[in-house]
Amino acid sequence: MSSHEIFFVLCSYLLGSIPFGYLIFYFSEGKDIRTMGSGNIGATNLLRSKGKLAGLATLALDILKGALPIVYGRIHFDLPWIVLLGGLAVLLGHVFPVFLKFRGGKGVGSLVGVFLVFYYPALLAFLAVFFLTLRLTRYVSLGSLLGSAALFICILFTQVVEASLVVFLMLLLIVFRHRSNILRLLAGSENQFSFRKNG
Q: What is the pLDDT of residues 11-27, one digit of tens each?
A: 999 999 999 989 988 89
Whether 183 contacts 150, CB under 8 Å: no
Task: Please tell me the predicted confidence (pLDDT) of residue 34.
Answer: 85
pLDDT single digits (tens) 100-125: 888 888 999 999 999 999 999 999 99
107 phi/psi in degrees, rounded to 5: 90, -5
Is residue 157 over pLDDT 70? yes
- The reported pLDDT for the residue numbered 192 is 84
Q: What is the band of 197 on the pLDDT scale with cuts at 50, 70, 90? A: very low
pLDDT of 152: 96
Count up the domains in the chain and report the number: 1
Longest C-alpha distance within the chain, in Å? 51
- On whether residue 198 sits in a domain, the answer given is no
Residue 11, Cα to own-chain centre: how many angstroms? 17
* CB-CB neighbours of 132 under 10 Å: 14
Q: Is 96 among the domain residues?
A: yes
- Distance set, CA 94 to CA 21, 39, 172 (Å): 10, 14, 15
Query: Tell me, what's the pLDDT at 35?
Result: 85
Residue-number span of the structural domain to which 59 is assigned: 3-187
**Does 80 have pLDDT greater than 90?**
yes
> pLDDT band at residue 199, thresholds of 50, 70 and 90?
very low
Inter-CA distances, 60 with 67, 170, 192, Å: 10, 20, 22
In a domain, 193, yes or no: no
Q: Is residue 197 part of a domain?
A: no
In a domain, 109, yes or no: yes
Rounded mean pLDDT, 151-156? 95
**CA atoms of 177 and 103, how far apart (whole Å):** 11
Written as one letter, the residue type at 147 is G
Residue 195's pLDDT band, with cuts at 50, 70 and 90, is low
CB count within 10 Å of CB 39 equals 12
Least confident of 5-9, 43-47, 92-96: 43-47
Is 196 a domain residue?
no
Residue 90: exposed, middle, or buried by beta-carbon count in 10 A (0-12, 13-18, 19+)? buried
Has residue 126 been placed in a domain?
A: yes
Residue 50 has pLDDT above 80, yes or no: yes
Write the pLDDT tens digit of every residue in 127-145. 999 999 999 999 999 999 9
In angstroms, rounded to a whole number, what is the distance separating the alpha carbons of residues 88 and 174? Answer: 11
Q: What is the structure's pLDDT at 18? A: 94
In this structure, is residue 94 part of a structural domain? yes
Distance between CA atoms of residues 140 and 160, nearest Å: 30
Cβ atoms of 145 and 184 closer than 8 Å: no
**What distance in Å separates the CA atoms of residue 37 and residue 22, rounded to the nearest whole number?**
13
Q: Would you call 195 exposed, middle or buried from its count of C-beta atoms within 10 A (0-12, 13-18, 19+)?
A: exposed
